[in-house]
């Protein structure tokens, strides 16, 4: 069973690099590019780990 990782990163190139690295190590990566999309994923999917860019707009980890 692959572990699911939510990756919240608004830099598309960095997000893609991280995603490729994690997938190479057999993780299932769910990318989100803003807080709204991340919230949708959180509510719809069981996540094992979240990697968050704290500076991303509408970050669900920041009020």
Q: How far is CA 37 from the centre of its chain?
A: 9
Model pLDDT for residues 3-58, shown as the tens digit of each residue: 999 999 999 999 999 999 999 999 999 999 988 899 999 999 999 999 998 777 66
Domains assigned to the chain? 4-52 (3.40.50.2300)
What's residue 63's pLDDT?
A: 55
Q: Write b or e for each residue in 5-41: b if 16 or more Cβ atoms lie within 10 A of its Cβ, otherwise e.
A: bbbbbbeeeebeebbeebeeeebebbbbbebebbeeb
pLDDT given for residue 57 in this prediction: 65
Higher per-residue pLDDT: 62 or 31 = 31
How much is the pLDDT for 35? 86
């Amino acid at each position: 069973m692959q572990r699911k990782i939510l990756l919240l990163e608004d830099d598309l190139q960095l997000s893609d690099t991280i995603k490729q690295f994690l997938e190479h190590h057999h993780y299932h990566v769910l990318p989100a590019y803003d807080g709204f999309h991340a919230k949708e994923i959180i509510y719809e999917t069981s996540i094992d780990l979240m990697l968050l860019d704290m500076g991303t707009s509408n970050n669900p980890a920041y009020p």
